[in-house]
Amino acid sequence: METSAVGTTAGGPRDAVTGAQGFTGRHIAARLLASGRGVLNLTGHLDRPDRFGGRVPAQRLAFDDPASLRRSLSGVDTLYNTYWVRFPGYGITHEDAVRNSEILFTAAREAGVRRIVHISIANPAGSQRSYYRGKAAVEAALAGSGVSHAVVRPAGAMFGDEPRLFNTIAWLLRRVPVFGVPGDGRYGIQPVDVLDVARIATELAARADNVTVDAAGPELFTFREAVDLVSAAIGSRAWVVNVPPTLSLLAARTMGLFMHDVLLTRDEVDDLRAGLLVSHEPALGRTRFSDWVEESAGWLGRRYVPEVSWHYAAAAR
């Protein structure tokens, strides 16, 4: 039950996390709970399983009702925003996601939220494709919101307990005879642990200055090296070969039809090959991807982790 003090609950200060049952948001919420803070989940998926045993109440992320959104944010000290869409589809575009983010930031300001910590992506100005262009637009909207804020830019590829990119790679390596790496595979990737991202985000919440930081892991690989590392760790017998990007996309789309999912998009291939999944700042992540792969080899890729049914479930029905 809330007390009369703004920003507090019976268990301590109250924060809000968009998507607190999702990959990044769940780990942010867990850190907040462990530190004695109350957590509110703002979500478009109220029917999702509760992984926190009732400790994180959920309210609708009501972009279509700003007044309701303001009420949800009343008394919140820090808003952690993980909201975004990976690709346009099922009735929502990246432009829609930008507008929704603007509505959220305005509601936070009007509700008196002290600080916003926003999860973005490294090199948001590095591409004119809609994903990165949208990410840059959201950062600009936050900068103009009038709310004290921090922007955390993961280097594009996070790993942890539900790492969709690396789990999908491992899932395929366990099942297909040939795994195609788009292009020459020499483009870089700098994976970061989701736990490091959550740590960085919660540490920045305590500051008052407006700040933007990259969140990248301590190891830099070529994409081919990362695939080979996963393949060796899980004992895959798949033949890893370099193929033209168009062929890898065709294979991914064909597989996606059978999986009722989206494994890979053209923009993702182009942005990966452009080196956008590499930070140009000192690494703030501490966990080594190579260590995590070895420790996770027993379960990595055993179960497919879908994208469409998780993030687009309501629209896809």
Query: In terms of residues, how long is the chain?
Result: 317
The confidence band for 279, taking pLDDT boundaries of 50, 70 and 90, is very high
Region 16-24: mean pLDDT is 96
- Quote the CA–CA distance of 17 and 28 in Å, as a whole number: 8
Q: Would residue 225 count as lying in a domain? A: yes
Residues 101 and 240 in one domain: no
The percentage of the chain sitting over the pLDDT mark of 90, rounded to a whole number, equals 79
Judgement on whether residues 16 and 75 belong to the same structural domain of the protein: yes
In a domain, 1, yes or no: no
Output the average pLDDT for the chain. 91
Domain contains 3: no
Please report which confidence band the pLDDT of residue 308 belongs to, taking 50, 70 and 90 as the band edges: low
Distance in angstroms (rounded) separating the CA atoms of residues 300 and 307: 16
270 and 312 share one domain: yes
pLDDT exceeds cutoff 50 at 27: yes
Q: What is the pLDDT, as a whole number, of residue 12?
A: 61
CB neighbours of 134 closer than 8 A, spacing ≥ 6? 84, 94, 95, 97, 98
169 and 80 within one domain: no
In the chain, how many domains are there?
A: 2
Are residues 223 and 131 both part of a single domain?
Answer: no
239-243 vs 148-154, strand pairing mode: unpaired
Using an 8 Å Cβ cutoff, are 60 and 52 in contact? no
CA distance 120 to 200: 13
pLDDT value of position 290: 98
**Predicted pLDDT of residue 309:** 59
pLDDT band at residue 317, thresholds of 50, 70 and 90?
very low
Q: What residues make up the domain containing 260? A: 164-189+219-316
Convert the pLDDT of each residue in 35-50 to its tens digit: 999 999 999 989 888 9
245 inside domain: yes
**Is residue 231 predicted with pLDDT exceeding 80?**
yes
Considering the domain architecture, whether residues 271 and 203 belong to the same structural domain is answered as no
Going by pLDDT thresholds of 50, 70 and 90, the confidence category of residue 316 is very low
Q: In the predicted model, is pLDDT for residue 103 greater than 50? A: yes
> In CATH, what number is assigned to the domain containing residue 310?
3.90.25
Mean pLDDT of 270-277: 91
Closest CA to 293 of 226, 203, 194, 220: 226
Q: What is the DSSP string of 73-125?
A: HTT-SEEEE----SS-BTTB-HHHHHHHHHHHHHHHHHHT-SEEEEE--S-TT
Is it the case that residue 5 has pLDDT exceeding 70? no
pLDDT: which is higher, 196 or 156 = 196
Question: For position 13, which CATH number holds?
Answer: 3.40.50.720
Bridge partner residues of 12 (DSSP): 9
Q: What are the CA-CA distances from residue 34 to residues 6, 29, 46, 51 (Å)? A: 21, 9, 23, 14
In this structure, the answer to whether residues 185 and 39 fall within a common structural domain is no
- One domain, residues 28 and 82: yes
Residue 2 resides in a domain? no
Q: Are 136 and 236 part of one and the same domain? A: no
- Mean predicted confidence (pLDDT) in 51-68: 96
Residue 99 has pLDDT above 60, yes or no: yes
Assess if residue 63 is contained within a domain.
yes
**Is residue 285 pLDDT above 70, yes or no?**
yes
Q: Does residue 277 sit in the same domain as residue 258?
A: yes
- Answer yes or no: is 39 within a domain: yes
The reply to whether 145 and 269 lie within a common domain is no
Residue 70 sits in the same domain as residue 106: yes
Q: Is residue 136 part of a domain?
A: yes
pLDDT for the residue numbered 81? 98
